Amino acid sequence: MIGIYYIFLCFLTGFTILEPLFGDLRSFTGTTFSKKQIVLSSWYFRLPAYFVTGVPVLTWAVYIFTYILRNSGNPLGYANVVVLIAASIYCSVMLVFIIKKKKCHFKGETDKISTVEIFMTGFVVMMSMYLMFRSLGMVDGKLKIGLSVFSDFSTHLSMMRSFSHLGNVPTHYTFFGGTDVKYHFMFQFLCGNLEFLGLRLDLALNIPSILSLVFSYFLLYVLAVKLCGKKSIGIVTLILYTFRSSSALFEYILSLPEGEVWSTLTNKDICEFIGTTNHEDWGLWNLNVYANQRHFSFSLTIMLLVIIVMLPAFYEGCARIKKHFTENEYSFREYINTSFVTNEGWVVKDYKCCIYAGLLLGLSGFFNGAVLIGTVIILFFMAAASDRRLEYVIFAAIAGVLALIQSKCFISSSLFTPQLYFGFLSEPRTLSGTIDYIRNMMGILPLVLIIQLLRVKTMHRYLMFVFMSPIIFAFTVSLTPDIAVNHKYVMIGIMLLDIYAAAFLTDLFLKKDILYKAVAVILAMCLTFTGLFEFIIFSRKNTNERSILYSYEDEIMNWIWDNADKEDIFLTANYFLTFGGYGNSMVLSGAQLYNGWEYFSWSAGYDVGERDALEISIYSAIDREHLYADVEKAGVDYIVVDVFNRESDMYYLNEELIASSYEEMFHIDEGNNKFSIYDTSKKLQ
C-alpha cells in the first residue's frame, strides 16, 4: 500500500506545483495554438502533467536522501520516510492554500469528454495494460517474463533489484560492476523503490509503465488537436502511433506461396516479427518497444509536455512574420531583420513556462537521455522561427546544467563520442541504400507526408521539418558504439509526423466525394496493417508457454540478498536472462556482475576488452600465483562457477584450481550442472 501511496503522492505533488504556478490549466486546452476555441477537456493535459512533474521531484528526492544516508543501516528506507513525510506535509499545506484561493478549476472539464473520446481513452488504457501485463506478470506464483522482452529486461530488472534489495546508491551498472553508470537508470530506481515499498515486482514495473504510456497518448492527442483544431485528427494520430506504417507485411505476404497466405497469417506458431531491414526481428519499430523499453514512454510524455508548453512562442513568431510580409515586400534580409533583429524576437514574456520546461527536461536526463537529446534538437529548430528566443535560451541553460551535473555525478568518463555516421542501419550506407531502407521501414508514410507538405501553409511546413529533425539526426550522427540505439530518435520523429499524416487522411475522408473517402480508407489500411499484424505477433510471442517463468523462492537469489552487499562484485559467465540455468538468479538478484552480457555493456559505452581478458585468465588460470594476481586486479569479491563456464568455448575452465584456492560459500546441484560461489576474501592454504 505504501507503494500505491507513493504513486498517488507523485500526482498530488505535481498538482500542488502546477496549479499555483500556472493558475487555470484549462488555458492549455481551451484553444488551439493559433488561438481558435476548441472543446477539449483539460484532464488530457492535467493528469500527464501532474504525473511527470511529481515523479522526477519525489524520485530524485528519494535518491538524494538515500545517498546522504548511505552509511546508515537502511538508507533507502530512511530516505522514503523523510521524503514521504515531507511531501505529505507540503501537499497538505498547498492544498489548503489552493482551496482557500480557489486556484483549481475543474468544473465542467469531465463534461467536455465526448463519447468517442471515452472509447478512445478506454482503448488506450486497455491496450497499455495488455502490453505491460502480457510481457511481464505472474503465472501460478511465478514471475513471467515474455519472449519479446526478456533480453533487455536482463538489465532493467537487474537494476531494479539492485536498488530494491541491495541499495545500489551510489549507483553502479550491474552488468559492468564496480564502475560508473552510463545507462539512464532513474526509471528503474523509481520501480525498484516501489518494490522496496511493498509492491510485487511486476506491479512495481507495470503500474508506472502503464501510466507513462497512457499519458504519452493523452499528450500526443492534445498536441494534435491544438495543432490542427480537430479531435478527429487527434484520434487518427493515435491510431497511426499505435500501428506503425511499413511495407513489411505486404512484402511478407508476397513472399508466401500462393494459397497459403491466410493460413500462414493466422498460424499461431508464427511468432517472429516480420520485416527485412536490420533488427526488425527485435521488434525495433512496433509496440514491443514500449513494452521492452519501459522508461521510453515516461520520457516521451515529458517531451510532449515541453513541446506543448514552448510552442506558443513559435506560433507568435510565425504570426508576426506573416503579418509583416503581408504589409511589406519579402526579402531574405528583411526576414532576418524582422525575425532576429527585433525586440519581439528575443524578449521574455513568460519566465514560468521556460523555467518549468527546463527543470522538467533537465531532471529527466537519467530517465532517458535519448529523449532529452531529441527534445533539445526539436526545440533548437523551433527556436529559429520563434519569438521570445531568450525563453529557449533559459530553457536550454537550465536543462543543460542539470544534465551536466547528473553526468558529472554518475559518469567518470565521456558519455558520448559523436561522429558522423550516414545511413543509420541501411545497407549499403549510401543515399540510394538509405532511401530504400526508409521505404521498407516506413512504407507509404513518407509519400503521405510529402503530399501533406505540399498542402499545408509555410508555418506547418517548417514545423514538419522540425518534427523530422530527430530522424535526420538519427541518419547522420552516432553518439554511441551501437548505431541501433538511434531508433528512438526515428520513433520520436515518426510519432510527431503522424499528426500531419492523420490530418491528410482526415481531410481526405471528410470530403463529400465517395472516391476520396475510399482512398482515405485504403491509405489508412496501408499505414496500419503492418503494425496491427505485429501486435498480433507480440501477443503470440508472449504467451505463457513461450515466456520465462521464474520462482520468487530462489536459493541463489536469497543467499545473495542475505550475504552480499551493494559493493560486492561477482565474476560470472556472460549472463543474461534466458530459458533455464542458474544465471537468471544472478541477474534477478541485482548483484553486480563483473562482466555480464557484453552487448549491454558495449552498447552503453563501456570498454569490455580488458574485462574479457581478465575473465578468461581467471577461469583458465594454471597456478595460484596468477589466479590471485588476476583476481586482485579485477577486484572481484566472488567467483561463480557453473555449467556456462564448464562449456565455454572461450577458455578451458580450471575448476580444481579455483576450488582449492578459495572457500566455497554456496552451491546447488551436482555434476556438470553444479552452481558454486567462491569467496575471494577467504583463501585456502
pLDDT single digits (tens) 392-450: 999 999 999 999 999 888 887 766 678 889 989 888 889 999 999 999 999 999 999 99
What is the DSSP code string of 590-655? TPEETT--HHHHHHHT---HHHHHHHHHHHT-SSHHHHHHHHHHHT-SEEEE-HHHHT-SS----H
Residues 36, 69 within the same domain:
yes
Q: Residue 209, CB half-sphere, CA atoms under 13 Å: how many?
A: 30
Which amino acid belongs to residue 48? P
Grid cell digits, residue 161: 533489484
Cell 510527431, located at residue: 496
Buried b (16+ CB within 10 A) or exposed e, 529-564: bbbbbbbebbbbbbeeeebbebeeebebbebbbeeb
Contact call for residues 443 and 523 (beta carbons, < 8 A): no
User: Which residues on adjacent β-strands are paired with residue 677?
Assistant: 640, 666
User: Angle, to 10 degrees, between the axis of helix 294-327 and the axis of helix 369-384?
Assistant: 0
Cell 500526482, located at residue: 11
Residues 581, 531 within the same domain:
no
Pairwise CA distance, residues 432 & 562, whole Å: 58
Contact call for residues 18 and 49 (beta carbons, < 8 A): yes
Q: How many domains does the chain have?
A: 3
Domain final position from 512, 544, 576: 544
Neighbours of 485 (CB within 10 A): 16
Residues 557, 679 within the same domain:
yes
H or E, element range at 292: helix 288-292
Domain final position from 62, 80, 110: 110
Q: Which residue ranges in the chain fall short of pLDDT 50?
A: none
Residue 658 covered by a domain: yes
Residues 516, 564 within the same domain:
no
Residue 179 covered by a domain: no
Q: Residue 625, CB half-sphere, CA atoms under 13 Å: how many?
A: 0
DSSP three-state, residue 279: coil
Pairwise CA distance, residues 232 & 265, whole Å: 31
Contact call for residues 422 and 476 (beta carbons, < 8 A): yes
| Residue of 437, 446, 486 whose CA lies nearest to 276 | 437
DSSP three-state, residue 557: helix
Residues 535, 558 within the same domain:
no
The parent domain of residue 535 ranges over 235-292+416-544
* Cα torsion angle, 304, 306, 308, 314, sign: negative
Contact call for residues 195 and 164 (beta carbons, < 8 A): yes
Residue 438 covered by a domain: yes
Residues 538, 603 within the same domain:
no
Residue 83 covered by a domain: yes
Residues 516, 562 within the same domain:
no
Residues 560, 496 within the same domain:
no
Pairwise CA distance, residues 377 & 374, whole Å: 5
Contacts of the segment 319-322: beta carbons below 8 A, 24+ positions apart: 319/34, 320/344, 320/387, 321/385, 322/458, 322/459
Pairwise CA distance, residues 337 & 469, whole Å: 25
Neighbours of 386 (CB within 10 A): 23
Residues 516, 634 within the same domain:
no
Grid cell digits, residue 106: 475543474
Pairwise CA distance, residues 183 & 173, whole Å: 7
Query: Phi then psi for 549, rounded to 5 degrees?
Result: -115, 125
Which amino acid belongs to residue 450? I
Residues 420, 278 within the same domain:
yes
Pairwise CA distance, residues 628 & 593, whole Å: 19
CA dihedral 545, 548, 549, 551 (to 10 degrees): 170
Grid cell digits, residue 76: 533507502
Residue 406 covered by a domain: no
Domain final position from 47, 80, 110: 110
Residues 488, 562 within the same domain:
no
DSSP three-state, residue 114: coil
Grid cell digits, residue 44: 488530457
Chain center to CA of 82: 29
For 66, 204, 290, 367, the CA distances from 192, given in Å and listed in that order, are 13, 7, 19, 13
Buried b (16+ CB within 10 A) or exposed e, 627-640: bbebbeebebbbbb
Residue 22 covered by a domain: yes
Pairwise CA distance, residues 568 & 273, whole Å: 39
Strand-strand pairing, 477-478 and 548-551: unpaired
Contact call for residues 243 and 532 (beta carbons, < 8 A): yes
Residues 422, 281 within the same domain:
yes
Pairwise CA distance, residues 249 & 272, whole Å: 12
The residue count for the chain: 685
Residue 251 covered by a domain: yes
Pairwise CA distance, residues 617 & 204, whole Å: 40
Residue 448 covered by a domain: yes
